[in-house]
Amino acid sequence: MSQSAQELIAEAGERGLAASALACLDRCLPLLDPAPDDLLRPLWQSVAEGGAGWAERLGEVRATLEETDDADSAVLVRKMLGAAPSEWDGAALRAWAEACSLTALELHEQLGGGPLVEAEERRQVRILEFLAGTPSDGPPAAGLRPVLEVSAEARRVLRAVVSRRERGA
């Protein structure tokens, strides 16, 4: 995790922490085969609602995800979801955001490192900076669309990397 990401996580509020961790997890979904792109939608909805229904929705997402893939990367992605706190609490969300950041970087390193890791670091910083720039007194959903767009694009990149590796290229 870059120093900038660490500093931004240290300064982030609950919404930023949850969104940051969730975005890291979201970007790593292609490592769970198969996992639908909208798997985390209920949790994104909770973030948009300022944490409302977080525990219930977290339980739903965990129940949806079957443990079928034994690959090391899939295990790490499942651990990211498993580490999500049941309570919408700043300290717990901060620990989760830090863990997800490090795990996402580790997974990108396993897939080839170099540019993949650098791009993941940039995404983490970009998302945290963007969320830090949204008004804290605004609606909780403010600013989430660009975060989702960054994560969707990163999922496509990671899906292509995984596909190339599976083909042996």
Q: What pLDDT shows up at residue 166?
A: 82
Structurally, how many domains does the chain consist of? Answer: 1
Average pLDDT for residues 5-29, to the nearest whole number?
93
Measured over the CA atoms of residue 132, residue 91, residue 36 and residue 142, the dihedral's sign is negative
CA count, 13 A, side-chain hemisphere, 58 = 18
Q: What pLDDT shows up at residue 88?
A: 96
Number of C-beta neighbours around residue 42 at 10 A = 17
- 101-153 pLDDT per residue, tens: 999 999 999 998 899 999 999 999 999 998 888 765 566 666 788 999 999 99
Report d(CA 116, CA 40) in Å as an integer.
23
Cα angle 72-96-29, degrees, rounded to a multiple of 5: 45
Element (H, E) at 142: none
Burial bucket for residue 45 (CB in 10 Å: 0-12, 13-18, 19+): middle
- Of 122, 115, 127, 128, nearest to 160 by C-alpha is 115
Report d(CA 111, CA 98) in Å as an integer.
20
- 35-70 pLDDT per residue, tens: 788 899 999 999 999 999 999 999 999 988 766 666
Structure tokens at 17: 């922490």
Q: Which SS3 state, helix, strand or coil, does residue 33 take? A: coil
Confidence of residue 1 (pLDDT cuts 50, 70, 90): very low
What's the domain range around 78? 3-167
Give CA 111 to chain center in angstroms.
Answer: 17
Report d(CA 56, CA 73) in Å as an integer.
26
User: Do the beta carbons of residue 51 and residue 88 sit within 8 Å?
Assistant: yes
